[in-house]
Amino acid sequence: MKKIDKKKIEEHVKGILEALGDDPDRPGLVDTPKRVANMYAEIFLGLAYTNDDIADMYGVTFDEEDIYTEPGSDMVLMKDIDIFSHCEHHLSLMYNMTVAVAYIPREKVIGLSKIARIADMVSRRPQLQERIGKDIAEIIQKVTQSHDVAVIVKGEHGCMTTRGIKKPGTKTITTTLRGRFKSDDALYGRLMELYRS
Ligand SMILES: Nc1nc2c(ncn2[C@@H]2O[C@H](COP(=O)(O)OP(=O)(O)OP(=O)(O)O)[C@@H](O)[C@H]2O)c(=O)[nH]1
Ligand SMILES: [Zn+2]
């Protein structure tokens, strides 16, 4: 686990306030560098862990070979998992974000809450929406040993709605398809049907 250097964040936030021309010593701002450091340590906690660490932390599985036998095509889909993240280009908020994770179990299943915990932790990094999907897929593949994983991420980007091009309401949907979700059109169709239901 990597350590997040809160003291250094505090110093830099103080520098930003000075560069903006505000007075970091005025009463309203005096504790702001510390607050921001605490907030960054919280919202970027996922930087302290690699994807392999996250797989180890949340890799709670149950052997269920009698339910899922090879070559199975029964899927587990968890959808409408709310997450927040921050884009790595502006460190601005990605919001109204939901994630759907599907996989075809091979003899073992992952504890359901762990899917949401994995989605949360990879989001707590400076991210790209596309990489959130890739990171989740990689960890789910490692934990479940399933080759067949799909992740759909939907969200709005603060850097496109509150600044810059300013297009509120614009939603981005990204898919990450692995194994049969990529190669089997019927399976992909069933995934989409369930996703929309
Ligand atoms: N593909 C992808 N792009 C993203 C994501 N988050 C932010 N971006 C984009 O990253 C790009 C950065 O572009 P730059 O031209 O370097 O930065 P900028 O001058 O602030 O760009 P504008 O946002 O167009 O004002 C922008 O087009 C953002 O919309 C993401 O999750 N995925
Ligand atoms: Zn951005």
What are 88-134's pLDDT values in tens digits?
Answer: 999 999 999 999 999 999 888 999 999 999 999 999 999 999 999 99
Q: For residue 69, what are the contacts with CB-CB under 8 A and spacing of at least 6? A: 107
Do the bridges between strand 126-127 and strand 76-87 make them parallel or antiparallel, or are there none, so unpaired? parallel
pLDDT the model gives residue 19 = 98
CB of residue 165 inside a 6 A radius of ligand 1:
yes
**Predicted interface score ipTM higher than 0.90:** no
Expressed in angstroms and rounded, the spacing between residue 71 Cα and the centre of ligand 2 is: 42
pLDDT the model gives residue 71 = 67
| Residues in binding site for Zn(2+) | 87, 90, 159
Of residues 10, 86, 129, 156, which has the active-site annotation? 129
CB of residue 191 inside a 6 A radius of ligand 1:
no
CB of residue 128 inside a 6 A radius of ligand 1:
yes
pLDDT greater than 80 at residue 68: no
pLDDT greater than 80 at residue 142: yes
Of residues 86, 127, 156, 157, which has the active-site annotation? 157
pLDDT in tens, 35-49: 999 999 999 999 999
Name the pLDDT band for 174 (thresholds 50, 70, 90).
very high
pLDDT greater than 70 at residue 183: yes
CA 26 to chain centre: 37
What would the mean pLDDT of 150-159 be, rounded to a whole number?
97
Mutate to test the pocket of ligand 1, among 84, 85, 89, 160 (most ligand atoms within 8 A of CB): 89
Residue 128 CA: nearest ligand 1 atom is 31
CB of residue 167 inside a 6 A radius of ligand 1:
no
Domains in the chain, CATH or no CATH each: 6-42 (1.10.286.10), 51-196 (3.30.1130.10)
What would the mean pLDDT of 134-141 be, rounded to a whole number?
98
Furthest-apart CA pair in the chain: how many Å?
A: 66
Contact between 74 and 104 under an 8 Å Cβ cutoff? The reply is: yes
Name the pLDDT band for 65 (thresholds 50, 70, 90).
confident
DSSP lists the bridge partners of residue 99 as 81, 153
DSSP state of 124: S
pLDDT greater than 70 at residue 16: yes
